[in-house]
Amino acid sequence: MLLGLLIPAFISGVLMFLAPCTLPIVPGYLGFISGVKAEELKTPELARLARKKIIRSAFFFVLGFSTIFILFGILVGLAGALFAPYREILAQVGGVLIIFFGLMMLGLFRIPILSQDRKIRIPKWLEMGKSGSSFLVGGIFAVGWSPCIGPVLGAILVLAGTTGAVLEGALLLAVFSLGLAVPFMLVAHTYTKASQYISQFSKWLNIISVVGGVFLVGIGMLLVLDKFYLFQEWGFELLKFINYEAIEQFL
């Protein structure tokens, strides 16, 4: 089942990056964690060093949130392992929850408790531009909660729980983190033009959110109807080039 979940895990990470409350603030995040000022990018002598600083800070930020997400994966994988004898029932219950998260993402209803922002204050003693500070801020970002990324994160944690194994849960959240990390690093590499690109792309964010909601509902329906093997077959065909059978035997 694991390899069939890798594709939705990666897509979920991309969807989290493209969430209306995430993408528009990415340039601001990069500027904050790197400590780079706009004036530095306008000065040829300083611009090259500033870009390297932004990319380094982005890398450690990615390591920070990836570490926390993988720890989440280990925890939910452990919880799933405890209920391994009830794996089929767990998958169906998880499917219902994922449908629930998908409908939330579509904006069909709101749950006040789940629709509140949960923000953790960043310690004032952190010195921005340092690798350790970027790592810590990335971890803080991972444990925060916002209404538009909560459904995506909730869905992938439910999927990790249905694997019924600690290693599989960790791997699933690692792939999820990769889906979030790849576009984040792309923005870091194109930082000087990123705001312009994101501004042009922002008009599509609501549509992407709807597509994401439909995607989650579809995944949930397959789990509830015990038809997830259809998605797995497609995933296996797509991942054939990496010799997934050997990987599956290893896992």
- List helix spans (H) across 18-83: 26-34, 38-42, 44-82
At residue 106, the pLDDT reads 84
Residues 6+ apart with CB under 8 A from 30: 54, 57, 58, 187, 188, 191, 194
If one compares 65 and 91, the residue with the highest pLDDT of the two is 65
Angstrom distance (rounded) from CA 215 to CA 156? 12
pLDDT per residue over 90-99, tens digit each?
888 888 888 9
pLDDT per residue over 20-54, tens digit each?
778 888 888 888 888 887 677 777 767 778 888 89
Residues of the chain with pLDDT > 90, as a percent, come to 14
pLDDT per residue over 142-176, tens digit each?
887 655 667 788 888 888 887 777 888 889 899 99
Q: Which domain holds residue 82?
A: 2-250
Mean pLDDT over 103-107 rounds to: 83
Q: Are the beta carbons of 173 and 98 closer than 8 angstroms?
A: no
Q: Is the pTM of this model over 0.75?
A: yes
Number of domains in the chain: 1
